[in-house]
């Protein structure tokens, strides 16, 4: 037997069960490690086996913990660490000590069992290390409880997977932790959290939980927590990254959402201490957070006291959990908190107002006002557009107006968070405005001034241009036209050509004389050199922004970063580097298929030209190579119909090409013209056989102006065409017969491919006979018009792929076609797929009309409404009727001649009230000749008929709801 390096397959030693939610992963990890060691499972196989041995619910949680990476991309130790932290119940040292001291031997417990239980309780209870913290007096007891509770919080936050290492609980949370029991008898009483922690398993509540009473600042928007709006109801929620789902208690559901149906569920949750929590079900609610409306599933808990938002809510709204509810101990967090407190008016999230000047847009001397009609808004976007308009009206950005000489259309643009941004299309207005120029800083100048900086801070101005108010005469110029009417824009909008110049000018003047501060539009970059007090520079920048009333976008505020992205580059203390996200976008750019894509790629590549060594040489080499390909001796010859004509075709996986050439008298072949194109999406699905056939047809159609009426030869290099042109099996007759009408010879295919396969030679010529159109009868005229499309296949006449039906079989074909009694439209559609003859549409219509079975189920024809004849004199004929508007009854009287309307409000629909109203009307306009009403009781009563008779009025009644 030959030797081999591979180890023989041997059975695995032992058996390990699947890990399920609720188990202690620390114990499972120890057992799994021994199993891998016994079976010599090492390397990436351990990762594969570990992932395959966890249940579906655990794998789903593991994917959430590894996001944005995938579990298979993590190392074995990283996966074990994540699973251990998430599935191992947290240990409270103080609680474990109480359980240790209160442990007593059971009545039926042996000494060995009692000894083992004591050993197990002492594992998580550092008795010897913490014995000095034992409560001696009431004061010492309170101090010890606070110290242990604080240590537990620090350890829990240190184990968080969000990268927060040094933390301490917020003051409000810490104060709540200080509530220690005062009597020795109730030392073991603890408060249980009221919400679920994880689905089908035990997990710790993350240390970044906040309560509505604490009112912490949101790490996403920098604002005070104001609650979440559920179905237009503002509710206070508890934020917990330890729970994968969001929950509400039964009382909240009964008070606010009882109109929503609860869907059943089989989920089981476990609280912080392992107690099972079985939800009643789940309900889908509309959640509004940060001006974004989304749908989220909430589980309803019967005994819950606090409403909870979990990781599903945080992922849905892209909430960063890094410092939610925690105070990061360090200069960065300290500086941010200090700047936020000192300059609260700059970071409050509102709309800023530049107080020093207003922007005035100046029109040209010959400017002509332009008004545009609003663009139709898609039905899906209409609610979002209306909500955005209402928001802009509420904050004073726009003001509704009745009329304006100037107006521009709006274009709704979808944001990444699902909201809509309204942009004005000011193309016409920009042509009428005077040009304003102010030099924008060159990118090279900005980067050259960063020498010596080791850290960077970036400040983004909120809403940029919208913080600059327009003058009163300029506000009407930028009026927007919407489906809700006209709105005057009060602030400098995006899209006006001079906005960027005004903005850059005022911001640069604001920071004139301030060093280490670089400005490009709404991005303010502050550099930091060693030995400088960066906080003083930031304080100066914020002070400059606060005085004129400008606001900062807290979400984009970056403080003392070692590297920072700015204008498409990454700034570090070492210098300038590329933004890898931009590089990835360049690498992922598809092959250009049109001139716009072809022009855009050099622009993207040229932006990073400074990082390409010898780019001039590379461009020169590419330029020279392109020139060398276009050889001077390659000259296209003139087309000569007297010379032999050859069409050479070829097809590849992505496209096809064709070459028209001549065989010259000296035996050489010269090219006349060539064509090519890529396959469409449908043509890419064709087989090789049909691609070659399509290439032949495509080339002949493109060269039709050259070869029409001429004898020519088609050359191809694929023997696959035998499958179409041969008689060995059934193929697509359309391709086969279209090709057989061409003369194809076997030649070498040098122009389109280097292959020299044996070609195919076919001789099937068609003789053309000239016929005068004057001798064509009316019966043959339809066939004469289709003479170029008719063909004979197997002794049958075809028009394209349809059989031309003989006269004797036409009646039978129509009867069979209508055998299922379908309508005219479906019958015609079915007929078009298979056959054709002269007058087929008329024959189908006639058959469907005379069919009795079809007539029985045919829809009734539309009723013809005949209006009442118009009276010749005013108030000659009047129509009366009652209508209800809420709790009000209205008697409506209409003159048929002048359409004059009289409306009387009556307390009730009675004959007495009706006669009084009619008398008042007739007293002013005179008695009519005819009164028309329906046959309601009030109009057919005896007193009403007596009133008409006494006044010699003809009364005509009609059926209700049928005024004809």
Give the span between the Cα atoms of 238 and 255, in whole angstroms. Answer: 18
Q: How many other CB atoms are there within 10 angstroms of residue 819's CB atom?
A: 8
H/E stretch holding 625 reads helix 615-629
Q: Which of 159-173, 207-221, 468-482, 687-701 has the lowest mean pLDDT?
A: 159-173
pLDDT band at 763 (very low <50, low <70, confident <90, very high): very low
Give residue 850's pLDDT. Answer: 82
Report the relative pairing of strands 790-793 and 796-799 from DSSP bridges: antiparallel
pLDDT band at 95 (very low <50, low <70, confident <90, very high): low
Of 356, 364, 245, residue with least CA distance to 304: 245
Give the span between the Cα atoms of 7 and 3, in whole angstroms. Answer: 11
Sign of the torsion angle spanned by Cα atoms 39, 40, 43, 44: negative
Give residue 330's pLDDT. Answer: 44
Range with the largest mean pLDDT of 405-414, 516-525, 581-590, 622-631? 405-414
pLDDT at 224 over 80: no
Q: Measure CA 634 to chain center.
A: 52
Ordered structural domains, the chain, with CATH: 25-87 (no CATH), 190-327 (2.40.70.10), 382-578 (3.30.70.270), 581-629 (no CATH), 631-768 (3.10.20.370), 773-857 (1.10.340.70), 877-958 (3.30.420.10)
**Residue the block writes with tokens 């570990």:** 50
* Inter-residue contact 285 to 302 (CB < 8 Å): no
Of 257, 235, 237, residue with least CA distance to 246: 237
Give residue 756's pLDDT. Answer: 32
- 168 φ/ψ angles, rounded to the nearest 5 degrees: -145, 150
Give the span between the Cα atoms of 677 and 654, in whole angstroms. Answer: 9
- 562 φ/ψ angles, rounded to the nearest 5 degrees: -70, -30
What is the share, in percent, of the chain residues with pLDDT greater than 90? 12
Range with the largest mean pLDDT of 184-188, 223-227, 449-453, 757-761? 449-453
Q: Which of 466-470, 556-560, 814-818, 903-907 has the lowest mean pLDDT?
A: 556-560
Burial classification of residue 631, based on how many CB atoms lie within 10 Å of its CB (0-12 exposed, 13-18 middle, 19 or more buried): exposed
Burial classification of residue 117, based on how many CB atoms lie within 10 Å of its CB (0-12 exposed, 13-18 middle, 19 or more buried): middle
Report the relative pairing of strands 645-651 and 713-715 from DSSP bridges: parallel
Residues sharing a CB contact under 8 Å with residue 523, sequence separation 6 or more, in sequence order? 458, 459, 460, 566, 567
What is the share, in percent, of the chain residues with pLDDT greater than 70? 76
Task: Could you list the beta-strand ranges (E) of 183-321.
Answer: 198-199, 228-230, 233-235, 238-239, 246-249, 269-270, 276-277, 281-289, 292-301, 308-309
Query: Tokens standing for 463?
Result: 């809403």
Residues sharing a CB contact under 8 Å with residue 801, sequence separation 6 or more, in sequence order? 733, 734
Give the span between the Cα atoms of 330 and 327, in whole angstroms. Answer: 9
Give residue 320's pLDDT. Answer: 63
- Tell me which of 751 and 313 has the higher pLDDT: 313
Give the span between the Cα atoms of 622 and 616, in whole angstroms. Answer: 10
At 87 the three-state DSSP class reads helix
Strand partners, 294: 287
Q: Which residues of 287-307 are buried (b: 16+ CB within 10 A; e: fewer)?
A: bbbeeeeeebebbbbeebebb
* Inter-residue contact 61 to 244 (CB < 8 Å): yes
Query: Tokens standing for 172?
Result: 């409000």
Give the span between the Cα atoms of 711 and 705, in whole angstroms. Answer: 13
Give the span between the Cα atoms of 190 and 168, in whole angstroms. Answer: 21
pLDDT at 453 over 60: yes
Of 385, 374, 404, residue with least CA distance to 489: 404
R_g of the chain computed on alpha carbons: 43
Residues sharing a CB contact under 8 Å with residue 667, sequence separation 6 or more, in sequence order? none
DSSP assignment of 134-147 equals: S--SHHHHHHHHHH
H/E stretch holding 891 reads strand 888-895
pLDDT tens-digit profile of 778-819?
888 888 888 878 888 878 888 888 889 888 888 888 888 888
Give residue 878's pLDDT. Answer: 94
Sign of the torsion angle spanned by Cα atoms 245, 246, 251, 255: negative
**Residue the block writes with tokens 């259309």:** 409
- Quick check: bond before 674 cis, omega within 30? no
- Tell me which of 712 and 32 has the higher pLDDT: 712
pLDDT at 954 over 80: yes
Q: Give 590's DSSP letter.
A: P
Q: How many other CB atoms are there within 10 angstroms of residue 358's CB atom?
A: 14
Query: Average model confidence (pLDDT) for the chain?
Result: 75
pLDDT at 266 over 90: no
Burial classification of residue 625, based on how many CB atoms lie within 10 Å of its CB (0-12 exposed, 13-18 middle, 19 or more buried): exposed
H/E stretch holding 647 reads strand 645-651
DSSP assignment of 915-956 equals: HHHHHHHHHHH---SEEEEE--HHHHSHHHHHHHHHTT-EEE
Give residue 321's pLDDT. Answer: 55
Strand partners, 956: 932
Report the relative pairing of strands 802-804 and 713-715 from DSSP bridges: unpaired
pLDDT at 168 over 50: no
* Inter-residue contact 578 to 612 (CB < 8 Å): no
pLDDT at 195 over 50: no
Query: Tokens standing for 329?
Result: 């101990």
Residues sharing a CB contact under 8 Å with residue 147, sequence separation 6 or more, in sequence order? 133
Sign of the torsion angle spanned by Cα atoms 485, 490, 494, 495: positive
Give the span between the Cα atoms of 547 and 540, in whole angstroms. Answer: 11
Give the span between the Cα atoms of 827 and 566, in whole angstroms. Answer: 66
- Quick check: bond before 719 cis, omega within 30? no
pLDDT tens-digit profile of 822-869?
888 888 888 888 888 888 888 888 888 888 887 777 777 777 777 888
**Residue the block writes with tokens 């989920």:** 267
- Tell me which of 111 and 505 has the higher pLDDT: 505
Report the relative pairing of strands 276-277 and 269-270 from DSSP bridges: antiparallel
Strand partners, 424: 410
- The stretch 549-553 carries a mean pLDDT of 84
Q: Which CA distances in Å does 183 have to 95, 138, 186, 263, 482?
A: 15, 9, 6, 46, 70
Torsion of CA 114, 119, 124, 126, to 10 degrees: 110
Of 765, 651, 620, 794, residue with least CA distance to 718: 651
Of 181, 193, 309, residue with least CA distance to 243: 309
Of 266, 326, 315, residue with least CA distance to 61: 315
Q: Measure CA 501 to chain center.
A: 33
Give residue 115's pLDDT. Answer: 72
- The stretch 333-360 carries a mean pLDDT of 76
Give residue 203's pLDDT. Answer: 36
pLDDT band at 156 (very low <50, low <70, confident <90, very high): very low
- The stretch 554-566 carries a mean pLDDT of 79
Helix, strand, coil percent values for the chain (each to nearest 5): 35, 20, 45
Q: Which CA distances in Å does 503 have to 436, 442, 720?
A: 12, 16, 67
Side by side, the strands of the sheet bearing 569-572 are 563-566, 569-572, 575-578
pLDDT band at 749 (very low <50, low <70, confident <90, very high): very low
Q: Measure CA 366 to chain center.
A: 44
Angle, to 10 degrees, between the axis of helix 25-38 and the axis of helix 76-87? 150
């Amino acid at each position: 037997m030959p030797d081999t390096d591979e180890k023989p397959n041997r059975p695995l030693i032992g058996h390990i069960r699947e890990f399920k939610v609720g188990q202690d992963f620390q114990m499972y990890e120890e057992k799994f490690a021994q199993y891998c060691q016994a079976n010599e499972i090492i390397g990436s196989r351990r990762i594969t086996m570990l992932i395959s041995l966890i249940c579906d619910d655990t794998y789903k949680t593991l994917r959430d913990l590894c996001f944005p990476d995938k579990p298979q991309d993590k190392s074995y130790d990283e996966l074990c660490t994540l699973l251990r932290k998430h599935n191992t119940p947290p240990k409270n040292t103080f609680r474990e000590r109480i359980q240790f001291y209160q442990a007593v031997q059971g009545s039926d417990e042996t000494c060995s069992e009692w000894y083992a239980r004591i050993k197990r309780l002492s594992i998580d209870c550092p008795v010897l290390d913490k014995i000095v913290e034992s409560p001696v007096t009431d004061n010492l007891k309170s101090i010890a409880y606070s110290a242990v509770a604080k240590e537990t919080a620090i350890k829990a936050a240190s184990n968080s997977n969000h990268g927060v290492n040094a933390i301490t609980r917020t003051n409000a949370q810490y104060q709540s932790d200080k509530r220690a029991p005062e009597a020795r008898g109730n030392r073991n009483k603890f408060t249980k959290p009221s919400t679920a922690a994880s689905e089908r398993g035990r997990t710790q509540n993350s240390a970044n939980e906040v309560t509505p009473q604490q009112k912490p600042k949101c790490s996403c928007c920098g604002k005070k927590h104001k609650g979440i709006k559920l179905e237009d109801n503002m509710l206070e929620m508890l934020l917990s990254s330890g729970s994968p789902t969001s929950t509400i208690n039964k009382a909240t559901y009964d008070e606010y959402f009882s109109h929503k149906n609860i869907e059943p569920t089989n989920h089981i949750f476990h609280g912080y201490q392992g107690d099972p929590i079985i939800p009643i079900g789940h309900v889908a609610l509309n959640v509004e957070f940060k001006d974004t409306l989304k749908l989220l599933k909430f589980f309803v808990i019967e005994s819950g006291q606090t409403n909870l938002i979990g990781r599903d809510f945080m992922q849905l709204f892209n909430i960063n959990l890094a410092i939610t509810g925690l105070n990061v101990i360090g200069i960065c967090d300290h500086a941010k908190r200090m700047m936020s407190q000192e300059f609260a008016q700059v970071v409050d999230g509102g709309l800023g107002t530049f107080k020093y000047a207003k922007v005035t847009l100046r029109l040209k001397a010959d400017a002509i006002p332009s008004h545009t009609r609003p663009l139709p808004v898609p039905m899906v976007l209409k609610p979002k557009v209306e909500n955005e308009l209402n928001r802009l009206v509420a904050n004073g950005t726009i003001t509704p107006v009745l009329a304006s000489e100037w107006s521009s259309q709006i274009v709704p643009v979808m944001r990444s968070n699902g909201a809509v941004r309204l942009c004005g299309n000011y193309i016409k207005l920009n042509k009428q405005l005077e040009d304003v120029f102010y030099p924008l800083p060159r990118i090279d100048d900005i980067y050259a001034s960063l020498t010596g900086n080791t850290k960077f801070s970036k400040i983004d101005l909120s809403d940029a241009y919208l913080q600059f108010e327009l003058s009163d005469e300029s506000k009407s110029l930028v009026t927007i036209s919407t489906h809700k009417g006209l709105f005057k824009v009060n602030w400098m909008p995006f899209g006006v050509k001079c906005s960027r110049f005004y903005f850059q000018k005022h911001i640069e003047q604001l920071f004139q004389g301030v060093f280490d501060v670089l400005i490009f539009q709404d991005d303010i970059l502050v550099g930091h050199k060693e030995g400088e007090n960066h906080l003083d520079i930031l304080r100066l920048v914020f002070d400059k922004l606060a005085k004129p009333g400008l606001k900062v976008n807290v979400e984009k505020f970056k403080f003392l970063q070692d590297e920072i992205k700015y204008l498409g580059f990454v700034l570090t203390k070492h210098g300038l580097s590329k933004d890898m996200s931009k590089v990835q976008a360049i690498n992922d750019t598809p092959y250009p298929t049109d001139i716009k894509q072809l022009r855009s790629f050099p622009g993207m590549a040229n932006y990073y030209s400074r990082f390409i060594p010898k780019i001039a040489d590379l461009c020169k080499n590419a330029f020279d190579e392109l020139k060398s390909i276009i050889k001077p001796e390659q000259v296209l010859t003139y087309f000569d119909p007297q010379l032999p004509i050859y069409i050479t075709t070829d097809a590849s996986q992505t496209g096809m090409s064709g070459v028209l050439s001549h065989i010259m008298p000296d035996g050489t072949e010269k090219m006349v013209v060539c064509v090519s194109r890529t396959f469409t999406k449908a043509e890419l699905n064709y087989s090789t056989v049909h691609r070659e056939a399509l290439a032949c047809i495509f080339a002949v159609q493109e060269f039709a102006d050259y070869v029409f009426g001429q004898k020519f030869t088609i050359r191809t290099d694929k023997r696959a065409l035998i499958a179409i042109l041969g008689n060995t099996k059934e193929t697509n007759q359309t391709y086969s017969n279209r090709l057989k009408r061409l003369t194809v010879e076997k030649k070498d295919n040098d122009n389109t491919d280097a292959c020299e396969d044996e070609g195919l030679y076919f001789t099937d010529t068609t003789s053309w006979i000239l016929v005068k159109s004057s001798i064509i009868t009316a019966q043959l005229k339809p066939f004469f018009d289709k003479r170029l499309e008719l063909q004979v296949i197997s002794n049958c006449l075809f028009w394209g792929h349809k059989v031309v039906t003989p006269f004797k079989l036409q009646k039978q074909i129509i009867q069979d076609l209508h055998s299922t009694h379908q309508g005219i439209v479906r019958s015609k559609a079915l007929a078009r797929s298979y056959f054709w003859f002269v007058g087929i549409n008329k024959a189908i219509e006639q058959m469907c009309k005379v069919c009795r079975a079809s007539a029985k189920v045919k829809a009734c024809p539309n009723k013809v409404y005949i209006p009442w004849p118009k009276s010749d004199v005013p108030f000659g004929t009047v129509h009366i009727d009652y209508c209800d508007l809420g709790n009000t009854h209205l008697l409506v009287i209409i003159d048929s001649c002048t359409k004059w309307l009289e409306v009387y409000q009556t307390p009730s629909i009675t004959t007495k009230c009706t006669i009084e109203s009619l008398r008042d009307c007739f007293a002013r306009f005179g008695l009519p000749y005819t009164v028309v009403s329906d046959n309601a009781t009030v109009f057919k009563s005896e007193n009403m008929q007596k009133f008409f008779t006494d006044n010699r009025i003809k009364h005509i009644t009609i059926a209700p709801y049928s005024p004809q």
